Amino acid sequence: MSNRPTAAELATAVREFLEAEILPTLDDQRLRFRTLVAMNALSIVERESPAPGEADWTMARRIRAGDIRETDLAELKLEVAARLAIASPKFLGRYRSADETDR
């Protein structure tokens, strides 16, 4: 496994910082509300961000070591498309269009 933080861990760190360090200092109600909205959005990122699976780490280690297989690019494209379908469906259409022009 990598010792890099996951998206969920990064979101947690920022949310906790906002909650512990920033929120208590805010007197402006509008800014306080916007900070609470940001914290809520970070909580959603925490819940919705899956930890990388062992297969992801295995492929990453192989590619870094120079062991690139013929199927790696196709697998990565499918993974990107699956993530875009959830995170940004509008961008998925542009991603697919760009992929088709690369062929």
DSSP states along 55-94: HHHHHHHHHHTT---TTHHHHHHHHHHHHHHHH-HHHHHH
User: Does 77 lie in the same domain as 45?
Assistant: no
Side chain identity at 24, as an amino acid letter? P
What's the confidence (pLDDT) of residue 37?
96
High-pLDDT (> 90) share of the chain, %? 40
Could you give the CA distance from residue 65 to residue 77 in angstroms, rounded to a whole number?
20
User: Does 92 lie in the same domain as 46?
Assistant: no
User: Does 84 lie in the same domain as 65?
Assistant: yes
More confidently predicted of 99 and 17: 17
User: Does 59 lie in the same domain as 15?
Assistant: no
What mean pLDDT value characterizes the chain? Answer: 85
What's the confidence (pLDDT) of residue 103?
56
Could you tell me the CA-to-CA distances from 32 to 12, 38, 40, 53, 76 in Å, in that order? 19, 10, 12, 37, 40
User: Does 31 lie in the same domain as 59?
Assistant: no
Tell me: the pLDDT tens digits for 12-57? 999 999 999 999 999 999 999 999 999 999 998 888 887 777 777 8
What's the confidence (pLDDT) of residue 2?
55
pTM, whole model, 2 decimals? 0.52
What is the number of domains present in the chain? 2
User: Does 2 lie in the same domain as 45?
Assistant: yes
User: Does 64 lie in the same domain as 88?
Assistant: yes
Torsions phi, psi of 73, nearest 5? -65, -45
User: Does 75 lie in the same domain as 40?
Assistant: no
Asked if residues 42 and 15 have their Cβ atoms less than 8 Å apart, the reply is: yes
Domain that holds residue 5: 1-51
Of the candidates 51, 67, 91, which is a domain's last residue?
A: 51
